[in-house]
Amino acid sequence: MSTVKVEIQLSLQQLLKAIEQLNQQDLDNFVSQVLALQRQRQIKKQLEYEAELLAEISEPIPLDIQTSHERLTTKKDAATLTSYEYGELLGLTEQIETLQAEYLNNLIELASLRGILLNTLIEALNIQTRIYTGL
């Protein structure tokens, strides 16, 4: 049997009325195909989200933040930190803590999406956790 491509626009209601005309076997086949299409789209969306999470996970703490924090921590330890520098150190510490929390949340989210434990994810991806120890 030959098929001819005809482009038409149907409302969802019109499409449903057309589907109502299918016999049971064709309806079952149609439903199976729609469910497969739905699952395919869900998988694609999940893979895209996982890729976003992996990209965020792989971003290190910016070097300028680390360097400034280490410099100010050294001055604090040497008791030569000014009050302005102390405020700057607190701000940098807060930034680092926020970045670390986002990092851990992304790891947890990715493990949850994959239905595995966090430790399993870390081992599977061979991730060196980037917890900044200069705090």
Instruction: Write out pLDDT tens, residues 19-29.
Output: 999 999 999 99
pLDDT at 31 over 80: yes
Domain ranges of the chain: 1-58, 61-135
Q: How far is CA 84 from CA 15, 72, 78, 97, 117, in A?
A: 68, 11, 16, 20, 43
Given phi > 0 = left and psi -120 to 50 = alpha, else beta, which region is 117?
Answer: beta
CA–CA separation, 29 vs 27, rounded Å?
5
More confidently predicted of 121 and 1: 121
Tokens of 56: 């965020």
Q: What is the pLDDT of residues 48-61, one digit of tens each?
A: 999 999 999 999 89
